[in-house]
Amino acid sequence: MNIATGAMNTLLPKLGELLVGEYKLQKGVKGEIEELEKELKGMTAALHKVAETLVDQLDQQVKIWASYVRELSYDIEDAIDTFMLKSKGHEPATSFKKVTNLFNKFKTNHQIHGVIKDIMDQVKKVSERRDRYIVDDNAARPTVVDVDPRIEAMYRKTTELIGINKPKIELTKRLLEYDGSSKQQSNIISIVGFGGLGKTTLANSLFQELKAKFDSYCFVSVSLNPDINKILKNILLQLDEKKYSHIDEAWQTKQLIDKIRDFLNNRRFLCVIDDVWKKPAWDTIKLAVQDAKLGSKIIVTTRNKVVAEHAGGGVYEMKPLSDDDSRQLFCKRIFDSNDDCPADLCGVTEKILKKCGGVPLAIITTACLLASKPRNSQEWDKVNKSIGFGLEDNLDVDKMRKILSLSFNDLPFHLKTCLLSLSKYPEDELIRKDRVLLQMKHDLQGQACRRLESYFSELINRSLIQPMSGDYYWLEDGKVHACKVHDMVLELINQLSVEEDFVTTYLSDGQQAGKCTYTTQKKKIRRLSLHNSNKSYASQEAREQLSKVRSITIFGKVDSIPPLSSFHVLRVLQLEDCSGMDKNHLNHLDKLRLLRFLRLGHYSATELPESIGKLESLETLDIRGASKPNSLKSHKVLFPMSFVKLRKLLRLYAGRVKLAQGLMLGDMKSLQELVIDATRKVIKEIGNLTELRTLRIVFSSEKTFELKESIQTSIQRLTNLQDLDLRNNVNFEEIIDMQQVPSGLQRLFMHDSYMEAFPCWINSSMLSCLTTLSIRLGFEYLQSDHLDRLAELPSLRFLKLQLALVSEQLQEKLTIHRGVLLVT
């Protein structure tokens, strides 16, 4: 999957595999495959040149040609994948005809000659027109980068501090006014302005500074198509996470509103309701917080002035930044100074800022774009002219999209692909990096997750996605593990995704996201995202559209899904909320013979279907968060005996599991990553999974101490282990005393309960490769020699040491002196 080349990057290696693999092709057929390979390589090079040119500057015929070639590459790869599976004896001969009309002659290995001939005929027809559509230019080359360590500080400085002091002072004064007789409406302040002006930044800055002055506080985002119950639950969690951490999923809107009202009664609270688009959404949420007494305050942000006035109270209209503030923001982002632009760049800088119109997001994205360019007036003038192309008479929002489009066009192919992959997510969705990277890996095929993580980092550095900070979004290694996509960026990539036929997204109201600005041949859906599961696919035409889908994601509760038998070439199936599913929803699961990634979020069934064993291509299975409807606790999921047939399974992310009688988890020799709850049988079997690189064990039983010896024995056998994460959901006072630790261990996490002794095996001789360490320890058990041992770890780059009762007992500070960690 690549926005520039379709399936070419993965198709070409597969043709090479046919030539040297176990397929025993005739010499003449091999020659034809070699000829096909040469043709496709030439077309791939042409696609790269087309993709290097700005979309607005491409001839219409070029767009049509490139789109047709990409579509052809997908069809060819689908047929090759199915043939390769069939030739190994896994695919029933009668099912291949259903895979693709283009290759319906492909029934046996001996008939591949006819199939290759058909492919060549179509490829040559396209190749005859190729030369006239070549576009000369130089493509940007991908680089591997890490997240800029200053990104959060830079983000705060550029968007929170610059240009908001005046409105912040004014609104702070209004928010803190309280004489005991304030009317309800005076307790509401609405901040209004179009996207990218900094409404959320201002509201968040006020929230962070003032929340300590209130008894309770919360900050929630609403968005264009809100899930009201989800928002109300979020409010409850922020008000008292401990009390409401296990909210009954069966609670209806009225019950949630009543709970919030009861909690806030006689409390002075601060509530931010961010990004309200429509009056009905506000009217419902208002019922929960409308009794704002004792000086309580509600801040609303919206793009719609009608909504702001409807909310009542005061309305504050956001204005674009002044020329001085725009210049300061721009210079801070590029030069890390308030107003220190080199003399030879001042002129072009002023032109660029004029076109940014004082919009903070436009200034930041343009500055990020220029930061990667040589600092000379010629290069910057090119950017200035690109921004100015066709913009002068457009509205501010249109200018914003053009500016963001320029940033998108400047991305290398791999980052364009990565960014467009995020178009499937709903607005304001918290996007977990690990899930994005895994899904991309299975759709991209062949891209290492390490490289994909670099892509995620670079999109953050370019301010195209927003890193989420705070303990909830950061794991114990200090890295960013979640992001959100700014509304304006999401609008852009939705439109680009439609035009490139990359992801087809249907919003919660049933409308398709994005609007294509040009027409090519009738397109097939390759990647489908549904923000609810109510869209009908009953018609024959609709089902034919699904026959080529490679990836499907459904957000929200899955009440109904298209028949799985419709997805002949599906690789990725992601169902985020399966709490409403029954066993019939997974009928024909065994038909998904090419499936590589399967996620069943909130899986409510008590067992996996027996047919799961027929998914011989499956590499990742994720059933974390399995729970019964209206239940507060997770439940065990039975793994059937057929589970052992998943010989290609590399990653299993589960919770509480029960193994069928006779099923041995240790027989899953291919597993490299495992997340699972601890049981006696599971712990014993883990020691046989010698290919494991990543292991996370959750201990939730009061009898955890009985597993101590088994844990130690199993972990010591995992010689390839690199990441070890031990989580305790109970007060586990025992300590794992390792006599031997996997020598290649790089990351170690031991948290969720405090240990009562410092592990003696954490030392430089046993953990010489350790780069990341996060542990919890009772303060009274921390000795100076323990700190010396930590300081001597030769590869350690990140340390998180959480001490119990620090506020009461810790009078000393941990400092690093001459490379040694000391207590001073």
Sorted by sequence, the CB contacts under 8 Å of residue 393 that are 6+ apart come out as: none
At 812 the pLDDT is: 55
Structure token pair of residue 170: 């004014």
**2 pLDDT above the threshold of 70:** no
Q: 593-638: per-residue pLDDT in tens?
A: 999 999 998 888 888 999 999 999 999 999 987 766 665 567 889 9
Give the pLDDT confidence of 420-450 residue by residue, as tens digits.
Answer: 999 999 988 889 888 888 888 776 655 555 6
Q: If you average pLDDT over residues 578-583, what whole number do you get?
A: 74
pLDDT band of residue 696 (cuts 50, 70, 90) is very high
Q: Mean of the pLDDT values across residues 229-239?
A: 92
Residue-by-residue DSSP string for 454-478: HHHHHHHHTTSSEE--STTTB-TTS
What's the chain's average pLDDT?
79
**Could you tell me what percent of the chain has a pLDDT over 70?**
77
Grade residue 517 by pLDDT with cuts at 50, 70 and 90: low
Q: Which pLDDT band holds residue 310 (cuts at 50, 70, 90)?
A: very high
Global pTM?
A: 0.78
The rounded Cα 647 to chain-centroid distance in angstroms is 27
Q: What are 146-174's pLDDT values in tens digits?
A: 444 434 433 454 444 688 888 999 999 88
Phi/psi at 363 (5° precision): -65, -45
State how far the Cα of 672 lies from the Cα of 543, in Å rounded to an integer: 36
Average pLDDT over residues 269-292: 91
Going by pLDDT thresholds of 50, 70 and 90, the confidence category of residue 223 is confident
**pLDDT tens column, 810-823:** 445 555 444 544 43
DSSP 511: P
Range among 377-381, 387-391, 616-620 with highest mean pLDDT value: 616-620
Task: Please tell me which residue, 129 or 225, carries the higher pLDDT value.
Answer: 225
The secondary structure element, H or E, covering residue 220 is strand 216-223
141 pLDDT band, cuts 50/70/90, is very low
Q: Where are the beta strands (DSSP E) in 303-376?
A: 314-317
396-409 vs 360-371: helix axis angle to the nearest 10? Answer: 20
User: Are 625 and 602 a contacting pair, CB within 8 Å?
Assistant: yes
Q: What is the mean pLDDT of residues 570-575?
A: 93
CB 49 within 8 A of CB 134: yes
* pLDDT level of residue 272 (50, 70, 90 thresholds): very high
